[in-house]
Amino acid sequence: MIEDEVNEPPQGWGSFEDAEALRRWSFLQRTPQQRLEWLIEMLEIGYASGAIQPRRPQHAADAVQEPTGGQSAADRART
């Protein structure tokens, strides 16, 4: 893209190609920090609304389960 294309928004606004050009132009107007902040905000909204479920349990005690009958990793390695 040339400098004028980066500073000026795309002229067309009706077709799919125009929408893609606007999306690309808008992306170039944002800094990486702004894009990261936007992503974090969208994730917070998703979690708050219930649209996204956490991948990990809320409490560490819930996550710790010994599937091997309570043996430690060292004990399992010895057998």
At residue 13, does pLDDT exceed 50? yes
> Which pLDDT value is given to residue 18?
87
Residue range 28-38: mean pLDDT, rounded: 93
Q: What pLDDT was estimated at residue 62?
A: 56
Q: Count CA atoms within 13 Å of residue 15 on its CB side.
A: 6
pLDDT of residue 9: 74
* Tens digit of each residue's pLDDT (9 = 90 or more) over 43-53: 999 999 999 98
Contact 16, 36 (CB under 8 A): no
- In the predicted structure, residue 79 carries a pLDDT above the cut 50: yes
Helices (H), the chain: 3-7, 16-28, 32-49, 60-63, 73-78
Question: In whole angstroms, what is the distance from residue 13 CA to residue 78 CA?
Answer: 68
